[in-house]
Structure 1
Amino acid sequence: MKEILSTKNTMVKELKKLHKKKYREEKRQYMIEGFHLIEEAVKAGAEIDWILFNQRGKTEWTDWLEQQPDELLIYVSEEVLVSLSELPTPQGLIAIVKMPDDEKKIEFTGGWLLLDNVQDPGNVGTMIRTADAAGLSGVILGEGSSDIFSTKVLRAMQGSNYHLPVIRKPLAGIIAGFKESKVPVYGTELNREAVSYQKITNSKDYALIMGNEGQGVASEFLAMTDQNIYIPIKGAAESLNVAIAAGILMYHLENNN
Structure 2
Amino acid sequence: MIASTGNARVRAVTALAKKAKARREQGVFLVEGPKMFGELPVERRREVYVSENFLRQQGERAEKLLAGCRYETVTDEVMRHMSDTQTPQGILAIAEQFSYQLSDVLKNSPDGKAPELVILETLQDPGNLGTILRAGEGAGVTGIILDRGSADIYSPKVIRSTMGSIYRVPFIYTDDLHQTIGEVKKQGIRLYAAHLKGKHNYEEENYTGPSGFLIGNEANGLTEETAALADAWVRIPMAGKVESLNAAVAASVLLFETARQRRQ
Displacement, 1:18? 0.3
> Aligned to 2:40, what secondary structure does the other structure show?
helix
CA distance in 2, matches of 1:66, 1:129: 25
Q: Name the counterpart of 2:123.
A: 118
Instruction: Specify the alignment match of 2:78 in structure 1.
Output: 80
Aligned pair in 2 of structure 1 residues 224, 66: CA closer, same or farther (>3 Å)? closer
Asked if 1:156 corresponds to 2:161, the answer is yes
- Give ranges in structure 1 of 5+ residues lacking alignment: none
Paired position in structure 2 for 1:231: 236
Deviation at residue 174 of structure 1 after TM alignment: 2.3
- Determine helix, strand or coil for the equivalent of 1:187: strand
How many equivalent residue pairs? 250
Output the aligned Cα RMSD.
1.6
Work out whether residues 54 and 77 of structure 1, in 8 Å CA contact, stay in contact via their aligned partners in 2: yes
Q: CA deviation at 1:103?
A: 3.7
Question: Any conservation in 1 of the 2:107–2:142 contact (CA below 8 Å)?
Answer: no
- Equivalent position to 1:4, from 2, 5, 12: 2
Aligned to 2:193: 187
Report the Cα offset of residue 212 of structure 1. 0.3
Determine the structure 2 residue equivalent to 1:131. 136
- Given the alignment of the two structures, is residue 17 of structure 1 paired with residue 23 of structure 2, yes or no? no
Q: What letter matches 1:218 in structure 2?
A: T
Once the two structures are superposed, residues 39-65 of structure 1 have per-residue CA deviations (whole angstroms, 9 ceiling, x without a partner) of 1113xx451111100122213143224
CA contact (8 A) 2:106 2:143 kept: no
- What corresponds to 2:219 in structure 1? 214
Using the alignment, how far apart are the partners of 1:116 and 1:39 within structure 2? 32
CA–CA separation in structure 1 for the residues paired with 2:97 and 2:236: 36
The reply on whether 1:89 has 2:87 as its aligned counterpart is yes
Q: From the superposition, tell whether residues 74 and 226 of structure 1 become closer, same or farther in structure 2 (CA, over 3 Å).
A: same
Structure 2 spans left out of the alignment, 5+ residues: 109-114
Shift of 1:120: 0.5
For 2:203 and 2:230, locate their aligned partners in 1 and report how far apart those are by CA, in whole Å. 17
Q: Point out the more displaced range, 99-108 or 236-245.
A: 99-108
SS state of the match for residue 145, structure 2?
strand
* Cα deviations by residue, 1:58-116 (Å, 9 ceiling, x for unpaired): 1314322441333xx00011111010112121111000111122446332541111111
TM-score (ref. length: structure 1): 0.92
Partners of 1:53 and 1:76 within 8 A in 2: yes
Give the whole-Å Cα distance in 1 for the aligned partners of 2:51 and 2:102. Answer: 36
**How far does residue 186 in structure 1 lie from its aligned partner after superposition?**
0.6
Are 1:184 and 1:206, in contact at CA under 8 Å, matched by a contact in 2? yes
1:194 shift after superposition: 3.0
Q: After superposition, what is the alpha-carbon deviation per residue over 1:153-185, rounded to whole angstroms, capped at 9, x for unaligned?
A: 011101101122122124212211222122111
Match among 22, 46, 51 for residue 49 of structure 1? 46
Aligned to 1:63: 63
